Amino acid sequence: MQKRKLGKSNLEVSAIGLGCMSMSGGYGPAGDKQQMISVIRAAVERGVTFFDTAQVYGPFSNEELVGEALAPFRGHVVIATKFGFKFEHGGAPRSVGLDSRPAYIKQGVEGSLKRLQVDAIDLFYQHRVDPEVPIEDVAGAVKDLIQQGKVKHFGLSEAAAQTIRRAHAVQPVTAVQSEYSLWWKRPEAEVLPTLEELGIGFVPYSPLGKGFLTGKINERTTFAGSDLRSRIPRFTPEARKVNQSLVDLLGGIAERKKSTPAQVALAWLLAQKPWIAPIPGTTKLARIEENIGAAAIELTPDDLREIASEASKITVQGARYPEELERLTYR
């Protein structure tokens, strides 16, 4: 597996990482814990060194899963987690909004360290920008944690370019994580140029369009009520029918490359910048192996021009999130 450095930092990760959220639910019921541990460990054996989780996944159970699975590989893998959601603890913990107050960040990091079974968190992202807390205060809190040896690198997720600049001025930002793929290219407008200027790495989540760009979903696919895609406008049957043309484009190139649409979608991301490391999520080892294969696919300048030209003719239908979730982004 190729390695990549996230921006100007010394944080080196596998070119393809693993998003672990879905192992604890989100796209349906949580997976069997022992089975998910086996999948994560098999990913390490195949060269994946970059694993992504968050306090809010579960909540907390995903960090516990990742911590247990990766315990034998301490020092050989990079674990990223995220803070910034507030939790209510009456019975099972649940998220009740945002909270990035410095005291809450510092209180929360202790739980993440325990669940992940680490002495220091490799990459600690603010999960969503909290409009009630100046980003300078957030960056200052993480700076304190870095000085205390509890965190190694600071990251932001779904932040606007100006917010990234303000945070970076207080504590250098190592990586920004946002959704980015052939069917959601908003980061190209302002975020990617800002990261290039400042020397910050970029970690695309949902690089396969929440599964749509794999070609395994069509207008007849049904989603369980526990699957977040059942609430996403982009995944209505009507939208899926229109958006199929993007999968067809990937499929045509995949045939030529003797690969799959998912591999072409990931190879396209890797070809955008050398400091981009996508984190496709899955619960299946076969999918991890398929995704890893994308790192070996070389898209020529002609291939990239063809993808850009054909994709520009396609208008993706449907919002990427319900309105209440989209409001939390690009602040």
User: Residue 224: helix, strand or coil by DSSP?
Assistant: coil
Supply the CATH number for residue 178's domain: 3.20.20.100
Answer for the pair 150, 106: CB distance below 8 angstroms, yes or no: no
Long-range CB pairs of 161-167, under 8 A, 24+ apart, other chains included: 161/190, 161/191, 161/193, 161/194, 163/129, 163/135, 163/331, 164/191, 164/194, 164/195, 164/198, 164/200, 165/194, 165/198, 166/135, 166/136, 166/139, 167/135, 167/136, 167/138, 167/139
Give residue-wise pLDDT tens across range 128-178.
999 999 999 999 999 999 999 999 999 999 999 999 999 999 999 999 999
Residue 57 annotated as catalytic: yes
| pLDDT of 13 above 90 | yes
Residue 1: HSE in the Cβ half-sphere, 13 Å Cα cutoff: 23
Cβ 157 vs Cβ 125: under 8 Å = yes
Distance, in Å, from the CA atom of 92 to the CA atom of 25, rounded to the nearest integer, reads 15
- Residue 196 — left, alpha, or beta (φ > 0 → left; ψ -120 to 50 → alpha)? alpha
Q: Of the candidates 137, 83, 130, 134, which has an alpha carbon nearest to the alpha carbon of residue 110?
A: 83
pLDDT tens for residues 28-81? 899 999 999 999 999 999 999 999 999 999 999 999 999 999 999 999 999 999
Res 293 pLDDT > 80: yes
pLDDT at site 78 = 98
Q: Which residues of 204-227 are buried (b: 16+ CB within 10 A; e: fewer)?
A: bbbbbbbbbbbbebeeeeebeeeb
CA distance 164 to 277: 18
Span 234-254, mean pLDDT? 97
Q: How confident is the model at residue 89 (pLDDT cuts 50, 70, 90)?
A: confident
**Residue 241 within a domain:** no
CA distance 87 to 93: 6
Q: Is omega for the bond preceding 187 within 30 degrees of 0, making it cis?
A: no
For the chain, how many structural domains are there in total?
A: 1
218 is written with which tokens? 């069509």
Show the domain range for 9.
3-211+269-297
Amino acid (one-letter) located at 326: E
Any domain includes 192: yes
Tokens 């207080």 belong to which residue? Answer: 170
Helix axes 261-272, 237-257, angle to 10 degrees: 80
* Neighbour tally for 33: CB within 10 Å: 15
Q: What is the mean pLDDT of residues 230-257?
A: 97
CA distances 238 to 185, 228, 229, 325, Å, are 21, 17, 14, 21
The pTM of the full predicted model, rounded to 2 decimals, is 0.98
Instruction: Pick the catalytic residue from 27, 57, 104, 125.
Output: 57
Instruction: Please say whether the beta carbons of 27 and 211 come within 8 A.
Output: yes
Q: Is the dihedral of CA 188, 291, 30, 118 positive or negative?
A: negative
pLDDT of res. 91: 78
Q: Looking at the domain assignment, is residue 322 inside a domain?
A: no
Residue 118 has pLDDT above 90, yes or no: yes
Q: What is the pLDDT of residues 92-115, one digit of tens each?
A: 899 999 999 999 999 999 999 999
State yes or no: pLDDT of 90 exceeds 80: no
